[in-house]
Structure 1
Amino acid sequence: MSLNQPILLALWASAAMTPLTVAAAPDTAPAEIARKADQSLLVDLSRAGDRLLAIGSRGHILVSDDQAETWQQVAVPVNNLLTAAYFAGDQRGWVVGHDATILATEDGGDTWVVRHFDASMEPLLDITFFDDQRGLAIGAFGLAMATTDGGANWSMLESDLTAEGMHLNAMTRLNDGSYLVVGEVGLMAHSTDQGQTWTMLDSPYESSLFSVAPMGDGGAIIGGLRGNAFAASDVAGGAWRELQTGTVQSVFGISDDGAGGFWMAGLNGSLLHADAELNIKPADTRAVNGLDDTLIATAIGGVAYADVLTLEGDLLVVVGDAGVRRMAFSR
């Protein structure tokens, strides 16, 4: 299945809690263990200590303990599309997805339990925890849910972040401890008090933003529709610099390269590298494990990459609509 249709529309379509606590609906079904799960649609990568996790369609959660060389699918109690994961340390983590799904693990991703599920609700697209007890999950059409008891219960959140009903696509903790959310029609929201209040920022771009990563002390790099990407050394200051990506392929995943630069993953096999000065060029990669470079670049008529992570030993791992790919790179 391609990220273009219909998954892209569902996933990335271009503070006070209410007293209501939304209970998990009972109509869930477990994910099937699939022989080719590592070749199916996967949309997010995360780390749990030395372990890697990849998540995606049909409730698939895969784990790797050997730097993405091999992957094992684990049992999951839901079979809907999963969109994002967050880990607080090696063992404790959460995954969100369609049907307002929230899953939790206490053993590094080996086993998962449902903390919220409601098929009548919109997709959740990202999740973070501010401390051991307080967390926030965000999603489509301004959906936001919060917990104050370590993820055991989740309540609807209404604030400036949700007021316009825009898709809330991604969020990250900046290096100064503040938080940045990006979303539909250039939405950018900044919190300096761990999500208790949000300030809407002037955006350098008026269409969808899909990805964000921290940069420097209080800055960020953001990516969006048609290859648009921007960076600022101080997000609150608003001096955003447009980056020359050289592509019109939407940017769905951004991550640091471990050396001051960034990887940017997107549609049609788009994998870019930004150096420490934010000069961008196509990533210089080569196949590993016997894979053909042509297959990596053009699988399924132009594979869509959704996320990317740097591994040890000049290795990369990417996920997308052709599953997971491991490749070597040159800086």
Structure 2
Amino acid sequence: MNNNKWIGLAALALAMALPFSQPVVATEFADTLDTPALHSDLAAQGPLTGMASAGERLVVVGQRGHILYSDDAGRRWQQAEVPVSSDLVAVHFPSARQGWAVGHDGVVLHSSDAGASWSRQLDGRQVGPRMREYYQALAAAEPQNEAIATLVTEAQRMTEEGADKPFLDVWFRNEQVGYVVGAFNLIFRTDDGGRSWTPWMDRTENPNALNLYGLRAVGDDLFIVGEQGLVLKLDAASGRFKAVVTPYNGSYFGVIGKPGVTLVYGLRGNLYRSPDSGASWNRVDVGLPVSITAATVDPAGRIILLSQAGHVLVSTDDGASFVARPQVQLAPVSAALATRGSLVLAGPRGVRTLPIE
């Protein structure tokens, strides 16, 4: 359900709750794409979904366009200036100052000052028209290509439906080259730091247009994961994301790893490990019945997994096995980063830190 419909339902509920003798005053609808994020003293305690490091700074993103940054390993947070109030999902910094954030309404934001302020580079109003223009040009050059013709139709549908398709992850190789991925096989690439974006839906082996949930590099390999066991790997020679077969057909939410080992994780505690860049996979039993929703590698090289319920699992053998960290109180985790001496977690209840030994 898109944000506009949520707002409509909330307004209806409010009207029904008011006494019938009291008139209801209509207020003008404010599109989240045209409404800057409001500053709130409670922003660090609200729902937050993505986290990244910008040099020594930490940056988190979440609902209503909230972006916060911390220069003291998560103890104190300041709120950034953000031009939209759309829900944000993910953030990535390829360098200390240049970063990108993505979220609902097809939003792509850029920061050049380590996350203190942001500008909009792309949104859902532009996604459909840009797809249509790009694939119409390809269709004119290849009139017999049925796959391109299908993408023209899809682009037209997205244009008519408007800005309701989310981007769910973002990753940049450097300050110029990056990708954003999202619902229904949405994927765009930039080669100029986000000044222009090119659709790449024709470059994925994803014929059913499955949702793309996660995007990360492990060593020199770039992986995308999604629903129904989808794993894609960029083939540099062809410039295409090719399908990688794994033993699981449920949703994967993310990718983590180190040079020489790749892990994909997701629904109901499923975790698979590849020692050979995705050529083969083995299941790692972590003993969890709940979904794995975040992962990080700490400065010592340990791989750390976090669950939907807040479990913390630590591996000291490059992901071959994991040990649960004892915890007194659990809370859901959406994103995590390991700093020296602490684990910074973000989730529905805001940000918090845990000591790590």
Verify same fold: TM over 0.5: yes
Moved over 6 A (4+): none
Letter in 2 for 1:167: N
Larger Rg: 2
Residues 152 and 183 (structure 1 numbering): CA distance in 2 closer, same or farther, change over 3 Å? same
By how many angstroms is 1:104 displaced? 0.3
Aligned pair partner of 2:214 in 163, 170, 187: 170
Answer with 73-82 or 114-123: which moved more.
Answer: 114-123
What do the CA deviations read for 1:166-205 (whole angstroms, capped 9, x no partner)? Answer: 1111111121x12111110010111141992121010121
- Distance in 2, matches of 1:265 and 1:316, equals 11
- Distance in 1, matches of 2:42 and 2:32, equals 28
Letter in 2 for 1:259: A
- Distance in 1, matches of 2:356 and 2:174, equals 35
- Determine if contact 2:123/2:163 at 8 Å carries over to the other structure: no
- Distance in 1, matches of 2:54 and 2:60, equals 11
- Distance in 2, matches of 1:228 and 1:195, equals 31
1:324 paired with 2:330, answer: no
> 1:94-243, aligned counterparts within 5 Å?
94-118=100-124, 120-158=163-201, 159-175=203-219, 177-193=220-236, 196-217=239-260, 219-238=261-280, 240-243=281-284
By how many angstroms is 1:73 displaced? 1.1
- Distance in 1, matches of 2:32 and 2:59, equals 26
- Determine if contact 2:95/2:175 at 8 Å carries over to the other structure: no
- Determine if contact 2:33/2:84 at 8 Å carries over to the other structure: no
Letter in 1 for 2:247: P
By how many angstroms is 1:27 displaced? 4.3
1:279 paired with 2:321, answer: yes
Partner SS, residue 226 of structure 1: helix
Letter in 2 for 1:214: G
Cα RMSD for the two superposed structures: 2.0
The match for 1:308 is: 336
1:262 paired with 2:273, answer: no
- Distance in 2, matches of 1:39 and 1:266, equals 19
Identity of aligned residues (%): 29
Residues 27 and 59 (structure 1 numbering): CA distance in 2 closer, same or farther, change over 3 Å? closer
- Determine if contact 2:206/2:243 at 8 Å carries over to the other structure: no
What do the CA deviations read for 1:111-133 (whole angstroms, capped 9, x no partner)? Answer: 10000112524110111223443
- Uncovered stretches (5+) of structure 1, i.e. residues with no partner: 1-5, 7-24, 286-292, 298-302
1:78 paired with 2:121, answer: no
- Distance in 2, matches of 1:126 and 1:187, equals 15
Letter in 2 for 1:163: P
Partner SS, residue 58 of structure 1: helix
- Determine if contact 1:253/1:266 at 8 Å carries over to the other structure: yes
Report which of the two has the higher share of strand: 1
Partner SS, residue 163 of structure 2: coil
Q: Which has the higher contact order (CA 8 A, sep 6+)?
A: 1
Partner SS, residue 105 of structure 2: coil
Aligned pair partner of 2:287 in 246, 253, 261: 246
Partner SS, residue 141 of structure 1: helix
Aligned residues: 289
- Distance in 2, matches of 1:27 and 1:310, equals 32
- Determine if contact 2:32/2:85 at 8 Å carries over to the other structure: no
- Distance in 2, matches of 1:106 and 1:195, equals 32
Residues 187 and 124 (structure 1 numbering): CA distance in 2 closer, same or farther, change over 3 Å? same
Normalised by the length of structure 2, the TM-score is 0.76
